[in-house]
Amino acid sequence: MAIFDRKDKSRYATFTRRTLLMTGGVNVVFAVLAGRLYQLQILHGDEFMTRAEENRVSQRLVAPLRGRILDRFGVELASNRRNYRVLIVKEQAAEGVDAAIETIGKLIYLSDHQREKVKRDIANNKPFAPVPVAENLSWDEFARINLHLPYLPGIQPDVGETRAYPYGPELSHILGYVASVSPEDMKGDDDPLLDIPGFRIGKRGIEKEFEADIRGKAGASRVEVNAYGRVIRELGHDAGTPGSDVFLTIDQQVQQFAAQRLGNESAACAVLDVSNGDVISLVSSPGYDPNAFNVGISQAEWNALTTDDHKPLINKVITGEYPPGSTFKPVLATACMDNGLADLQVNCSGSMTLGNNVFHCWSWKKGGHGHVDLKRGIAVSCDIFFYEAAKRLGIDKIHDTAIAMGLGGKTGIELPGERPGLIPSREWKLKRFGVPWQQGETLNTGIGQGYVTATPIQLATLAARIASGNAVSPRITRYIGHNDQPRPQINRLPFSDSALAAVQQGMNMVANVPGGTAYAWRITQPGFEMAGKTGTAQVRRITREDRATGHVGNANQPWKLREHALFIAYAPVQLPRYALGIIMEHGATPDHPHVQMARDILLFAQQRDPVKLPNAYPVNAADRGTNKVRG
Amino acid sequence: MTTRSYAAARRTLSFGDKLLDVNWGLVLLITIIASAGFAMLYSVAGGSFHPWALPQMVRFIIGLILLIAIAMVDIRVWMSLAYPLYGAALLLLLATTIMGKVGGLGAQRWLELGPLQIQPSELMKISLVLALSRYLHGQPVEDISKPLKLLIPLAMIGVPAVLVLMQPNLGTAMILCADGASLLFLAGLSWWWILPTVGAGVAAVPIAWRFMHDYQRQRVLTFLNPSSDALGAGWNISQAEIAVGSGGLAGKGYMQGTQSRLNFLPEKETDFIWTVLGEEFGFVGCIAMLLLFAVVIAYGIRIAMASRSQFGRLLATGITLNFFFYIMINASMVMGLIPVVGIPMPLISYGGTAMLTVMVGFGLLMSVHVHRQVEIPRHSSGLM
């Protein structure tokens, strides 16, 4: 046993001792590891579970489908269409946002304007929020992006919904438009939807007025995301509550016809149903393309819209306050009938004097209208008759009658920005100017000049009230979703039937009796005839010098200084159905284009009425059971 | 006389006898642990053998063959090869470090030898244990603590440790030092050396701090306060802790780990594989795995104790402790107990070099077991 020495035995003992010691150390380490596991998994397991879930699950708001806007027959005036778009997520764009935009720019066209907007939006949003780069792509463009997706980190193709206005400018002033949320919109509206990049809200018109109903309620998508924020799968989806559809009283066909008829004139026209005030058509021209605002309007386009002297962005029907001119005379006529002046007769020589002032009739050149009673006064629009009537009635009675006719206050139409117009009174004058009312001002008021202003919608209301004898007010919505829109109760006007009948006869004579101011442009089809009242509103005061030099004709004036042309009408004369108010800015010319427009629009509207359509085929006894009358 | 003839018989053990003598229980244990690793790799690949589970299985089988082959070789052959292997490993390490410096690359851990990619630092772990065991085998207890005699093993540990640190690979350098220190301790180094050294080591922490690389300091700082940089360097630690913690008692279920599947875990298939186990099998699964590891270590210690040569004892314990240090550092790291250092979990983490190193180590351990009756004189240098 030479190879085993004592020393080896002693070091074996040492080795054993130390190994046991070392094993103890190993056990301590294992105990520490087990303790750490216990601490992490048992003591704090729930807490870490929550954090793992927070890692994994991301809540994303889902924009609800915006409610549609439809006309009275269910034609879609504002709808949603598929919007192929490209989004960029900053934190996922591995080579930086600029490089990513550059790459996209090689696949689809991106304007400088778009590029700047994307960079701005990215700066304003959180790094993980998807920001739209391009929207409304064609299928080809969208497919191209999808094809190159593996080389486009941070780029997400997306199919969204976008607002579409299929009829473009013709409904622009009714519908308004939707556009991106501005910082001002965020104030006072804490709907989380507004934080979604690319979200659109109503900015004008019905879109704005009924924004709360149309928008709907936000949905949510619970998605599983990986460490890079990429969505792996959807865990739960709540589509939210879609916005309510808004049904308008508008008849798209009449609207389209009216818009085409007004063309590019600076004009405004409203057509009402006289029985209940339903707005059949409401056109302010020129219009603008609401789709442009949705996509994002360029500075140049915006400048063009705001600097146009025809003011395409203004809804003249409800915000344009014009002197009503002679269209105000039926108000005076009504007041006369119920205030003991039914038999007022005047001899018009072309002018009359009050104090030091000379008041002229528009017919002063021809030597006046001669003998004029109330109905003829309306028919030939004799100023002298209504000066006299105004002088005798006094401003108080004129004021009260005008108010009852729906003037001098907002009609309550469901569109934002309506203006009240003005019917002056003694109190108003004193409060406004601090001086008492003058009788000369009563005379000016009598022919719809001076302080009096009215909006085209008020003029249409005036026509509807005269035609129906009821205090109808214009309403443009029928239902919101499944709910009827509340309507004001319709009361009888506080005028006698004989008063209204006389005014109606006078307005009939305007259009249908030779010598009436609109006779040349009457509706000749039997059963469709209209009654009306013409008017012109001075934009500048006609001076004595003008009269002396004959410098009165509008043709000699620059466009801006020409008189406004107005017309109120209703049709048919028997059992009136539609009332109309129209104004053509600086449009007073001898051929009365605005009356021609009114005539065509009223005729078209009446012909839309199914009962008025002639049978397309002769109805004979053989097919009478099976074939219903067309329409 | 009986013992003598028995020992003599052992010298000429036939191949078949040796094969029967292999500790098949340990082999089975290793296979079970490695299989758990395959299952984890299958899971993190989203239920696929590609790209990790299948290559890992192939490597394990190669490793298993290597293990048996090494076990069949007489322990005295390994003893005689200890110094040459150590010298070769040192040269390769030197080459790697120099090439790293010359090549201008910051970190160089790999050496390209034709089609082979070897990591000399891994080779060094085994070689160091072999070489130190051989050196200490020749030293009586009372000589080990003599200053001049101590310089040699310290240099054997220190030179490769410094080279590895220069790569820089802090984790492996730490394991080399731990391996060396353990062997010196087991061989009977005097407490008069041990206690002052530990004291000096504690005092040296601030100095070590100055010599650390920025990324190493960052790791330490992040470790001390992970939430300070929750989206940057602290991300790994936070997410690993979330993964392990969210496993709870019984785990989320196999292939149900969200942290790993959704890429919240960094290097989930290599260094952080433990977190996948923790997430999917919870406390129960982790404790079970720790127990398996503990049994392997117990096997190793038992083999060491049963060896009749000091070389065998030191080699077996050194290999076993090397295995243990892997586990300790990896598990502590992924569970936020120590800073992040790049050390894989043995047998489980994906990676060829680590797997082969561990299997070669077990092969040597098995050789000690098979040749446990072989006595080697103190002055012997193996077969020569």
């009283």: which residue's tokens?
A249
Closest-CA residue in chain B for A7? B140
Residue A29 banded pLDDT, cuts 50, 70, 90: very high
Inter-chain contact A30–B294, Cβ cutoff 8 Å? yes
- The answer to whether residue A41 neighbours chain B at the CB level (below 8 Å) is yes
Convert the pLDDT of each residue in A237-255 to its tens digit: 887 889 999 999 999 999 9
Token digits of residue B71: 């076990």
For residues B237 and A602, the model is more confident at A602
Inter-chain contact B287–A16, Cβ cutoff 8 Å? no
- The answer to whether residue A52 neighbours chain B at the CB level (below 8 Å) is yes
Convert the pLDDT of each residue in B160-185 to its tens digit: 999 988 877 888 899 999 999 999 99
State ipTM: 0.92
pLDDT confidence of residue A488: 82
Cβ pair A270, A460 in contact under 8 A: yes
- Span A16-23, mean pLDDT? 93
pLDDT confidence of residue B8: 46
Residue A558 banded pLDDT, cuts 50, 70, 90: confident
Best B132, B186, B268, B314 member to test A by mutation, with max A CBs in 10 Å, is B186
pLDDT confidence of residue A117: 84
pLDDT confidence of residue A546: 65
Residue A186 banded pLDDT, cuts 50, 70, 90: confident
Chain B neighbors of A52, CB-CB under 8 A: 242-243, 245-246, 258-259, 264, 279
Inter-chain contact B290–A30, Cβ cutoff 8 Å? yes
pLDDT confidence of residue A629: 43
Highest mean pLDDT among B170-174, B297-301, B341-345: B297-301
For residues A239 and B74, the model is more confident at B74
Is residue B68's pLDDT more than 80? yes
User: Which of B186, B258, B328 has the CB atom closest to A15's CB atom?
Assistant: B186
Is residue A104's pLDDT more than 80? yes
Cis peptide before A312 (omega within 30 of 0): no
pTM reported for the whole predicted model: 0.65
Counting Cα atoms < 13 Å in the Cβ hemisphere of A154 gives 23
Convert the pLDDT of each residue in A75-97 to its tens digit: 999 999 888 888 888 877 777 88
Give the helix/strand (H/E) hosting A445: helix A439-446
pLDDT confidence of residue A229: 63
Burial (0-12, 13-18, 19+ Cβ within 10 Å), A168: middle
Cβ pair A473, A406 in contact under 8 A: yes
Chain B neighbors of A35, CB-CB under 8 A: none
Q: Is A326 a catalytic residue?
A: yes
**d(C-alpha A146, C-alpha A151), whole Å:** 10
One-character DSSP codes across A281-350: EEEEES---HHHHHH---HHHHHHHHH-TT-TTS-HHHH--B--GGGGHHHHHHHHHHTT-TT--EEE-S
Inter-chain contact A34–B287, Cβ cutoff 8 Å? yes
In angstroms, the separation between the Cα of residue B300 and the nearest Cα of chain A is: 11
- Span A412-439, mean pLDDT? 93
For residues A392 and A62, the model is more confident at A392
Of A35-39, A110-114, A329-333, B106-110, the least confident: B106-110
Is residue A209's pLDDT more than 60? yes
Strand A57-62: give its sheet, edge to edge: A57-62, A219-225, A231-238
Mean pLDDT score of chain B, rounded to an integer?
Answer: 86
Inter-chain contact A45–B335, Cβ cutoff 8 Å? no
pLDDT confidence of residue B102: 54
Region class of A370: left (phi > 0), else alpha (psi between -120 and 50), else beta: left
pLDDT confidence of residue A114: 83
In angstroms, the separation between the Cα of residue B243 and the nearest Cα of chain A is: 7
Torsion from C-alpha of B334, B335, B336, B340, nearest 10 degrees: -10
Convert the pLDDT of each residue in A503-539 to its tens digit: 999 999 999 999 899 999 999 988 899 999 999 988 7
- Span A558-587, mean pLDDT? 91
pLDDT confidence of residue B168: 76
Convert the pLDDT of each residue in B139-153 to its tens digit: 888 888 888 889 999
One-character DSSP codes across A148-195: TGGG-TTEEEEEEEEEE-TTGGGGHHHH--EEEPPHHHHTT---GGGG
CA A207 to chain centre: 6
Is residue A552's pLDDT more than 90? no
Cis peptide before A572 (omega within 30 of 0): yes
Is residue A430's pLDDT more than 90? yes
Residue A614 banded pLDDT, cuts 50, 70, 90: low
DSSP state for residue A364 in the 8-state scheme = G
Q: Which of A266, A284, A326, A473 is catalytic?
A: A326
Convert the pLDDT of each residue in B176-217 to its tens digit: 999 999 999 999 888 888 899 889 888 888 888 888 777 777
Chain B neighbors of A29, CB-CB under 8 A: 324, 328
Cβ pair A246, A68 in contact under 8 A: yes
Is residue A541's pLDDT more than 80? no
- Measured between alpha carbons, how far is residue B321 from residues B126, B203, B278 in Å? 11, 26, 24
Is residue B289's pLDDT more than 90? yes
Cβ pair A248, A206 in contact under 8 A: yes
Token digits of residue A190: 């804490």
Is residue B7's pLDDT more than 50? no
- Span B63-79, mean pLDDT? 94
The percentage of chain A sitting over the pLDDT mark of 70, rounded to a whole number, equals: 92
Mean pLDDT score of chain A, rounded to an integer?
Answer: 87
């949510």: which residue's tokens?
A220
Closest-CA residue in chain B for A30? B290
- Span A465-486, mean pLDDT? 92
Token digits of residue A204: 């004008």
In angstroms, the separation between the Cα of residue B37 and the nearest Cα of chain A is: 19
Is residue B383's pLDDT more than 80? no
